[in-house]
Structure 1
């Protein structure tokens, strides 16, 4: 999967979760009642008796405790879990957007070609070693056939350089494309050891 495709999917998942936050608890409650009816179990949560504690006088009154068990479950559990999932997706979408933006120069040669190519070269630099030569990359992109890249083209489509035997003519683009198509879209630390290679 490409980072730009992953960003699109993550945005759709975030939108879905935001709408689920509004209606999901009621839907889950309805499903739970149906399951309870099938199992001949009473569909009710047990009400816990609230403990009262002696309080000293203070300027701020304490929040009113939620006495309804369903409301308490919705506010203290359901909404918290869904909000954490939404925030996690937003964070992941932001990181993937940055990666997709850095590699976007490979499929859309815009007017800011030099600046975007420099950003890509800086991204693929570690210490004194760089995977790309900036000056050669600019020359390669400027001499790239005008019919490429096409509309709605992905980085994987550009791997045609291998098929056409053009990777020796465009070595820096070839290196950047290989890195782009093998960059894992997952940011979970446990999965980082599994690359697309």
Structure 2
């Protein structure tokens, strides 16, 4: 007991026998953390602007060593941490320096972190839609871009987002082939196909859509019922539709309201018609015996919300935002509007991702691995997500994937 009390006292005073060794270890740990922070920052910069990392060689202070080594050399002129790191590398004092091909680990890490954040938001939203489109790359591989559309809620605002999740190599471009690749990817991402509420394709739409619907996914029929219900309420409240619905083809034409009609206000509400819309919507959103909404409760909530919504709230997005920011006691109304806003209008997001594909996998980089391509594309397209992340979180993730240096970051 005396020995234990003495040890405890020494620990409190930080006067143990390995004090010097521990301080040296802590100093080395802090050094490597600072090195990784700078390397992560350089990777984010190059990936964000679609710049090539490697040149004709991978040696410092040699001609043609590429943008990454060029930035390291420039940073070394002003930053003492990077100056010390470059000195160690040039003097061969360290074998693992994260300036060579191991930089691939950082690219994949950052891409994975972005996708993880997106999936977290999608699961929080629950309902989502997918947008798919295909194009051949420089190496003549068919690449399918997968985009997920969802309503993103946070403490300060609500947004409808279409987020890029990656490129998938597709060997079979038939409807069956796209269907199988899509289902496999959704499963690997941890997304429940039962929560899908819409689809957007540039080709293969009929076959893929029908195959997905054959899995009891609630899709196009829900669009019509949500639209009819929203039309009924909009007409009553003298409110117009969102621009997205105005562009939604046949659906928008069916539920759209012209400018002259918007000026008129209906004085009475047809309760029977409203109830009919609610029950039809409940049936349309039913999956495995359960529905996203309860028709009876939805009817009651709609009557209540109609009494306090201000007249200037003039589209579906603003209605949902207004209700969500002020009250969460109307779950059925919120779900109905969420499904409406989740429905994709165009496949423009997938088309835009192809511009990054052509920039990243150019002729001189035609042998780029699929993992590196997806990492770079995800960082470039969704760089704003990385900007909100703490470097400490990124470093911890990096340490867990690099066993040889894990103890330094413990």
**TM-score (structure 1 length as normaliser):** 0.39
Higher strand content, 1 or 2: 2
Greater relative CO, 1 or 2 (CA 8 Å, sep 6+) = 1
**TM-score (structure 2 length as normaliser):** 0.20
